[in-house]
Amino acid sequence: MNYEAQEREFDTDLFVVGGGSGGVRAARMAAERGARVTLAEAGGKPGLGGTCVNVGCIPKKLYSYAAHYAEAFEESHGFGWQGAAPRLDWQKLKQNRRNELARLNSVYEKLLVGSGVEVLNAHARLVDAHTVEVTAGADGAARRVTARHILVATGGRPQVPEVPGREHVLTSNEMFDLEPFPARLLVIGGGYIACEFASIFNGLGSRVTQLYRGPQVLRGFDDDIRKFLGAELMKKGVDLRLNAGMTSVERTAEGLQVELQGGGSIAVDAVLCATGRVPNVEGLGLEHAGVSLGNDGAVLVDENYRTNAPSIYAVGDVTGRVQLTPVALAEAMVVVDHLFGPPAGHAPRATSYEFIPTAVFTHPSVGTVGMTEAEARRELGVISVYRSEFKALKHTLSGSSERTLMKLVVEESTDRVVGLHMVGDEAGEIVQGFAVAMKAGATKADFDRTIGIHPTAAEEFVTMRVPVAGAQ
């Protein structure tokens, strides 16, 4: 296929602004289809791979693994293991994480270059609908690149509320390299990022206090899951305070003095504010190309991720839709198919936002796919709910009081399983497989006919037979 402009010659066929998951996937796949592709990623953080690889999913999951070991050692006593309690080497954990991320950054770069993508370590700013100005370094000379198509994939960034002393507050970006390790950590927020970091640093040895202004953490998740996880977090040692917040932060000789809503204060060594993320559009020059933004600053796009400027597309967190790495990857492939055609023998892809599985890597973890009970009642009417709570086999000897919750939401008229939720060990690993079944339209009868793997927690999803009384 010839991608040269019929009316105008461009320097490149596709210019990708941002080297995160969505941008890298789109650049690679477009180049492999024969397009000339240029990608610009500004130097420093987050770097190639974007938030997920550098300051999000990957390092957070690595630290989540690390946080399990102290608890695992305690639990091992019930299985006959003895020995001195382990001690965390915070410096070694940080260095090993840096080494792994450097390896991943290199892998991303090799994949791009190997596909024929021109990679620029530079800041990119739109000049018009077909022109990007790139600047390498603070004192680097700017040059302009013309592109037939431009893809904006700049992701999002943490948002810190305007409170006195906000300069002392950290975001999730800074949590992986804290120095020194915080003996006392205050986490502000109740979303998945706040809950994950509260769990992680509690497991690593911090005394963690978590403040959330709402009545329960994980707003938007199933209510049973929210309540159950909140209780489990407190059992693990997190001082979770609901309907609470901070009004100011001040640095003192004893650490950070945080004034609380409603009165009172708390002294801590570090404050993490995880109260939401906003689309990363500042300084992109989108206004020069006439690109429309939503009230939240997100880039507005159609079903093919095209903006109101026909030559400009956007995918991932910058569009403010579903802020998950796999979603950005799927969206990127839709753009590539739309611009350069699908692989031979395949129809152009489309992204479905139904039954997107997700996990929260708290301790215990959360896995969920489909509708919450409240959503199903509101949208489907008559439903059946199946719920099971139990102590996992592992904890019959471990001495831990941790419990597992599993829940199914079923549409009565079709018998289709429309919601599946879990709090428990390896919830994400378990829910992923069930998400495939639900995407394929599995019914409760299909679940009932499936033989479980015994003894596992996962088998509970195919052995629940009696709906919760009064839940229909």
Q: Which residues are catalytic?
A: 454
**Neighbouring residues of 344: CB distance < 8 A, sequence distance ≥ 6:** none
Copy the structure tokens of residue 149. Answer: 């198509």
E-strand ranges in 349-469 read 358-360, 366-370, 383-390, 404-411, 417-423
Helices (H), 341-388: 373-380
Partnered with residue 188 across adjacent β-strands are 211, 273
Rg (CA), the chain: 24
Instruction: For residue 383, give Cα distances in angstroms to 45, 86, 123, 336.
Output: 47, 48, 51, 39
Q: Which is nearest to 318 in space by CA: 63, 26, 105? A: 26
* Residues in CB range of 63: below 8 A, 6 or more apart: 93, 97, 176, 200, 204
Three-class secondary structure of residue 212 per DSSP: strand
Residue type, position 383, single letter:
I
Structural contact between residues 359 and 367, judged by C-beta atoms closer than 8 angstroms: yes
| Count of residues making up the chain | 472
SS in 3 state form for 269-312?
Answer: CEEEECCCEEECCCCCCHHHHCCCECCCCCECCCCCCECCCCCE
Q: Quick one: which of 434, 427, 278 has its CA closest to 360?
A: 427
Between CA 359 and CA 365 the distance in angstroms is 7
Yes or no: say if 312 and 291 are a contact pair by the CB < 8 Å rule.
yes
